């Protein structure tokens, strides 16, 4: 009541002029007669509407007077339209009874201009994820909400670090040098979604601003998949758009919802032992690396029964049972004039390492107001405060897992210690004696973030045919990255300790305005014309400071005395754009639209005019035509097609020649000077991606089965390629030029099956899948393949192959020709360089490698399939989520290094009882190739499983509530794969554009969580 009173006082000046008419009613399911929550009830032709609550009741305040039409929409149900006559004052009552439907053509989506549009009106497919269909207990962050729920959207969980990021791709990758991450829009405001939001590396994993969004505050997510649909978003939308709408209040008395969540987190990886074979060198001395390669080359003789092994991770009891807790509450309500939603949530997660933890507080306040029957105002604000401590891992010799997997085969503690341990009594098998308690846990890497997103949305209908929409917003991030290494914690590199402290301010501003004119040209023909403008500014500022020789007992830069260094960086990017769109609607069955967006961006070359992005779409709801046969097999059918273009802007200053200030020593004194910072390219253009898609939707088997199918083809032209410059230029070694061409082609499908529905039992199944073929068409004239990846040469961009493809030499054949039980490289050719000389006079070469480097696979995969079954039995609902990825190849670089000439701790290079194929790929490392470790990493995972119990009303009333649910949920429960590494989804460069390898990375962890929700 107090909140309603406060809002009423704030809006009193405008509310006094408001009409008092209202429309209310209830929406129920015809089969079960149960109320339907989250149904949208809209006044046709206006922006006025409301959603039903858990009781199925809605109320539209300040409704326009006169004869109106109401449309109700709910996912999984057929839409319905009813007429109502609204008086100048008073309340009209309209109830709806809905029939189940597997597809919803009248589902409302939000466009780039801020207007709402029914799906039937657009020729593109837009995936919608409704928060009510997501089991919140099963998701720990926003990436989890997206994972496996939309066809064509791939979310790769790179590792098990608490607070880590994921790689998100929509319909493949378009760009070679620029970001391939989708654009993120929250309540109409462009938000920062940097997947690598840190300035201090810990080996591979990184935090992401994408996951600052609180899943509990989300009402719906719309995934706009490609340029055919995202053209109106202009430059930066070529990779697709993820559009988030947060929760809104509803008219009526205050409704409270509280939640309590607690669960455990467990490490489920099975880590291999380290092995060593003790032997004797030819001079008679003891040798603890008498591996199979040394034996085969007769450089040492193994001692009988001297194969030793240990497991540093098991020795140290590295992992603990982590836990997760969350406490939240929200309240919503309001009057006909204004409604509010206010929520807060505190989350704490203690990972499976003692030093890996996250604390996050989320606060949201949304206000919707209808001061007049033709005016709607919405204010949305969200604030996140997080504190994260990250562990060292991946490509990092100080990591807990990396130091173990490439450590020793000897436990240097106790009676089994080896002479190679030297003075080390604490290493327990860790590399460089970096026992976690003494070394790894001493490194203190933290991130503190304050993140605010606010927006104001105003819709004004000054005339019956004209709607004006304005959106303004601000995304503010204050980030502090810090790392402290005490003295004597790390005995190599930084034995005297160090301190790093970097502060960044990141600001994103949004301003949009549009006018929508609707004209009834003929009783059967309607015209909708939209014109608008958009402005965005992205500003970044960061100051870094670093120093070494840290005074014991201190943890600030004041305590360092050597190697002090400071740096400052900034960028400011502005985009302005204009939109013009024309749509024609024939009998509410045929929809034809054409549009153009024109953009100017400060990162373009100075000579480039406004860039234009055209689009067009056609939608025909043929199933509503009189000639279309209405049978039990098929009742609804829609055909659609669309074309669109979008872009990617160059990065900051890539179009400009610029200078960097430096300090220069002249005659022993430091003076200011400059160096050439970048060559620049004044003719730089945006990368352009054009897309054509077509498809259909169908209702089958008496509306029990809904099918969607989409075929698409994307072509990226003017892709930015780094062309080498002559050293005489005196600047950077490369200059970006618009030269490349990349293609993505594929198809997507969605099947919704309502197998059975009654008041006590309901069975449902959702299947979505996709196939994407990615190919580099052309890198440009005289551009050789671009080689990169772990080790510098494991991946490449090459004409005719997928982006980031793996290349290497494969094993053509192997055989134990001399019968000694070992695969040998004696008398075999060696590729590249090696420190191990060959010997002659031995057996014939036992390993045959391919003559040249070959394509070995696609790290991003080709196919995806998700199955989401759900069964409701009276008070119990059981849901699961299965995810399959096919055509995936992964570089098992962990095993490559364990086999290699430096560490040689893999069992396959030490134990002659191991299978010959495992020996062969290890021995091939000494021949100069890592291609034998590119493995098929296709997998199927049980990502989610949940059991939700809805308590009888008497239990809720005993707690003075109106509803009580208890959910037990598990995540990352089972993996089926032929991949031999720790997990087929790992990536040691979590946020990298293409770099992909399983290299000493912690696998995903398992969650079991219990969540209690009480409403009152």
Average pLDDT over residues 39-52: 82
Residue 833: its pLDDT value, please?
44
**Residue partners of 84: CB distance under 8 A and separation at least 6:** 23, 67, 68, 69, 70, 92, 94
Residue 386's CB is within 10 A of a number of other CB atoms, namely 20
- Kindly provide the residue ranges of all beta strands, DSSP E only, lying in 226-354, ordered along the sequence: 241-246, 252-266, 274-281, 286-287, 300-310, 322-334, 338-350
Alpha-carbon span 50 to 941, nearest angstrom: 38
Residue 63: its pLDDT value, please?
80
Average pLDDT over residues 605-630: 92
Q: Which long-range contacts (CB under 8 A, 24 or more apart) does 948-957 make?
A: 948/135, 948/876, 948/877, 948/878, 948/879, 949/875, 949/876, 950/875, 950/876, 950/877, 951/875, 952/875, 956/1014, 956/1015, 956/1016
Is residue 353 pLDDT above 80, yes or no? yes
Token pair of 804, please?
């980031």
SS (H, E, C) 473-515: EEEEEEEEEEEEECCCCCCCCCCCCEEEEEEEEEEEEEEEEEE
Between 53 and 8, whose confidence is greater? 53
The closest of 271, 290, 274, 315 to 407, measured between CA atoms, is 274
The closest of 180, 196, 192 to 990, measured between CA atoms, is 196
Alpha-carbon span 498 to 581, nearest angstrom: 57
Quote the percentage of the chain above a pLDDT of 70: 94
Between 263 and 829, whose confidence is greater? 263
Residue 424: its pLDDT value, please?
64
**Phi and psi at residue 13, in whole multiples of 5°?**
-60, -35
Alpha-carbon span 388 to 613, nearest angstrom: 41
Is residue 1001 pLDDT above 50, yes or no? yes
Confidence label for 526 from pLDDT (cuts 50, 70 and 90): very high
Residue 403: its pLDDT value, please?
87
Average pLDDT over residues 295-301: 92
Residue 533: its pLDDT value, please?
95
Alpha-carbon span 510 to 812, nearest angstrom: 57
Between 782 and 257, whose confidence is greater? 257
Alpha-carbon span 363 to 109, nearest angstrom: 26
Pairing of strands 189-191, 795-797: unpaired
Give me the numbers of helices (H) and strands (E) for the chain, helices first please: 10, 52
Alpha-carbon span 164 to 117, nearest angstrom: 36
Average pLDDT over residues 677-683: 82
The closest of 848, 828, 851, 830 to 840, measured between CA atoms, is 828
Between 1010 and 33, whose confidence is greater? 1010
Is residue 729 pLDDT above 90, yes or no? no
Average pLDDT over residues 806-827: 92
Token pair of 393, please?
């891992």
Residue 102: its pLDDT value, please?
63
The closest of 681, 682, 686 to 722, measured between CA atoms, is 681
- Average pLDDT, rounded, for the chain: 89
Is residue 430 pLDDT above 90, yes or no? no
Give per-residue pLDDT as tens, 734-788: 888 999 999 999 999 999 998 887 878 999 999 999 999 999 999 998 899 999 9
Residue 672: its pLDDT value, please?
83
Alpha-carbon span 109 to 233, nearest angstrom: 15
Name which of 6-15, 74-83, 496-505, 646-655 the model is least confident about: 6-15
Average pLDDT over residues 841-850: 78
User: Is the Cβ–Cβ distance between 74 and 38 less than 8 Å?
Assistant: yes
Give per-residue pLDDT as tens, 567-581: 999 999 999 999 999
pTM (two decimals): 0.90
Residue 433: its pLDDT value, please?
62
Residue 444: its pLDDT value, please?
94
User: Is the Cβ–Cβ distance between 41 and 50 less than 8 Å?
Assistant: yes
Query: Across the strands, what pairs with 571?
Result: 540
Name which of 58-67, 274-283, 915-924 the model is least confident about: 58-67
């Amino acid at each position: 009541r107090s909140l309603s009173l406060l809002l009423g006082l704030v809006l009193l000046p405008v509310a006094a002029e408001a009409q008092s008419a209202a429309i209310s009613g209830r929406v129920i399911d015809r089969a079960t007669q149960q109320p339907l929550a989250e149904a949208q009830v809209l006044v046709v032709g206006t922006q006025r509407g409301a959603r039903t609550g858990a009781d199925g009741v809605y109320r539209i305040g300040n409704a326009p007077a006169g004869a109106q039409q109401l449309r109700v929409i709910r996912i999984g149900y057929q839409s319905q339209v009813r007429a109502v006559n609204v008086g100048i004052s008073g309340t009209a009552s309209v109830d709806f009874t809905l029939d189940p439907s597997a597809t919803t053509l009248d589902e409302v989506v939000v466009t780039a201009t801020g207007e709402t549009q029914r799906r039937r009106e657009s020729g593109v497919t837009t995936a919608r994820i409704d928060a009510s269909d997501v089991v919140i207990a099963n998701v720990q962050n926003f990436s989890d909400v997206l994972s496996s729920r939309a066809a064509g959207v791939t979310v790769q969980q790179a590792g098990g670090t608490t607070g880590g990021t994921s790689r998100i791709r929509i319909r493949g990758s378009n760009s070679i040098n620029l970001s391939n991450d989708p654009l993120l829009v929250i309540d109409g405001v462009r938000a920062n979604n940097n997947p690598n939001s840190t300035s201090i590396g810990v080996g591979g994993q990184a935090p992401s601003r994408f996951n600052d969004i609180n899943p509990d505050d989300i009402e719906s997510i719309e995934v706009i998949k490609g340029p055919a649909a995202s053209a109106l978003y202009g430059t930066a939308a070529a990779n697709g758009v993820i559009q988030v709408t947060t929760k809104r209040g509803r008219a009526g008395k205050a409704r409270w919802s509280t939640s309590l969540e607690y669960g455990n987190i467990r490490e489920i990886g099975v880590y291999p032992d380290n092995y060593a074979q003790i032997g004797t060198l030819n001079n008679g001395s003891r040798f603890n690396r008498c591996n199979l390669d040394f034996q085969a080359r007769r450089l040492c003789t193994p001692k009988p029964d001297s194969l030793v092994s240990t497991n540093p991770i098991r020795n140290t009891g590295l992992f603990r049972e982590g836990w997760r807790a969350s406490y939240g509450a929200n309240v919503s309500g309001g009057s006909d004039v204004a409604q509010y939603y206010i929520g807060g949530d505190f989350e704490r997660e203690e990972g499976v390492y003692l030093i890996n933890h996250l604390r996050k507080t989320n606060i949201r306040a949304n206000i919707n107001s209808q001061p007049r029957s033709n005016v709607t105002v919405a204010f949305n604000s969200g604030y996140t405060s997080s504190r994260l401590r990250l562990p060292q891992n991946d490509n990092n010799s100080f990591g807990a897992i990396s130091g173990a997997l490439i450590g020793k085969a000897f436990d240097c503690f106790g009676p089994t210690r080896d002479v190679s341990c030297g003075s080390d009594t604490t290493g327990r098998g860790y590399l460089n004696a970096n026992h976690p308690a003494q070394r790894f846990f001493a490194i203190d890497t933290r991130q503190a973030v304050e993140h605010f997103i606010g927006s104001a949305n105003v819709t004004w209908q000054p005339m019956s045919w004209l709607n004006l929409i304005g959106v303004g917003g601000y995304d503010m991030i204050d980030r502090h990255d810090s790392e402290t290494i005490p003295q004597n914690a790390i005995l190599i590199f930084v034995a005297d300790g160090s301190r790093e402290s970097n502060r960044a301010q990141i600001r994103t501003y949004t301003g949009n305005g549009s006018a929508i004119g609707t004209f009834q040209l003929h009783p059967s023909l309607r015209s909708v014309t939209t014109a608008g403008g958009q402005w965005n500014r992205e500003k970044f500022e960061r100051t870094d400071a670093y120093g070494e020789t840290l005074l014991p007992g201190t943890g600030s830069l004041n305590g360092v005395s050597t190697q002090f260094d400071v740096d400052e960086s900034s960028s400011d990017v502005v985009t302005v754009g204009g939109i013009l769109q024309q749509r024609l609607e024939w009998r509410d069955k045929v929809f034809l639209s054409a549009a153009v967006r024109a953009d100017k961006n400060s990162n373009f070359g100075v000579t480039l005019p406004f860039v234009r992005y055209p689009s067009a779409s056609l939608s025909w709801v043929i199933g509503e035509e009189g000639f279309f046969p209405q049978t039990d097999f098929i009742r609804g059918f829609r055909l659609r097609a669309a074309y669109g273009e979008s872009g990617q802007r160059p990065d900051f200053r890539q179009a400009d020649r610029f200078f960097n200030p430096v300090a220069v020593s002249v005659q022993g004194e430091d003076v200011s000077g400059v160096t050439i910072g970048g060559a620049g390219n004044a003719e730089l253009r945006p990368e352009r991606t054009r897309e054509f898609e077509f498809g259909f939707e169908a209702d089958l088997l008496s509306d029990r089965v809904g099918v969607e199918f989409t075929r698409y083809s994307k072509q990226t032209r003017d892709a930015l390629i780094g062309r080498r410059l002559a050293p005489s230029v005196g600047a950077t070694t490369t200059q970006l030029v618009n030269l490349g061409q990349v293609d993505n082609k594929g198809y997507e499908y969605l099947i919704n099956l309502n197998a059975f529905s009654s008041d006590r039992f309901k069975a449902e199944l959702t299947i979505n899948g996709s196939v994407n073929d990615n190919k580099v068409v052309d890198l440009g004239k005289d551009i050789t393949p671009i080689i990169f990846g772990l080790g510098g040469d494991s991946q490449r961009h090459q004409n005719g192959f997928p982006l980031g493809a793996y290349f290497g030499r494969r094993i053509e054949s192997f055989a134990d020709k001399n019968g000694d039980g070992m695969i040998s490289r004696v008398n075999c050719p060696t590729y590249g360089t090696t420190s191990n000389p060959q010997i002659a006079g031995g057996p014939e070469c036992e390993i045959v490698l391919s003559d040249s480097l070959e394509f070995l696979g696609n790290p991003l995969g080709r196919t995806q399939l998700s199955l989401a079954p759900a069964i409701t039995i009276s008070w119990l609902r059981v849901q699961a989520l299965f995810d399959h990825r096919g055509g995936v190849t992964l570089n098992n670089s962990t095993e490559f290094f364990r086999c290699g000439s430096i560490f040689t701790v893999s069992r396959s290079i030490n134990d002659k009882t191991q299978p010959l194929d495992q020996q062969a790929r290890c021995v091939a490392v000494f021949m100069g190739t890592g291609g034998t470790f590119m493995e098929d990493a296709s997998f199927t995972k049980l990502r989610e499983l949940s059991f939700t119990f809805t308590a009888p009303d008497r239990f809720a009333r005993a707690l003075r509530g109106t509803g009580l649910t208890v959910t037990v949920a598990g995540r990352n429960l089972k993996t089926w794969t032929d991949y031999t590494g720790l997990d087929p989804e790992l990536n040691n460069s979590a946020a990298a554009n293409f770099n992909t390898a399983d290299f000493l990375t912690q696998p995903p962890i398992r969650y079991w969580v219990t969540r209690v929700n009480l409403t009152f």
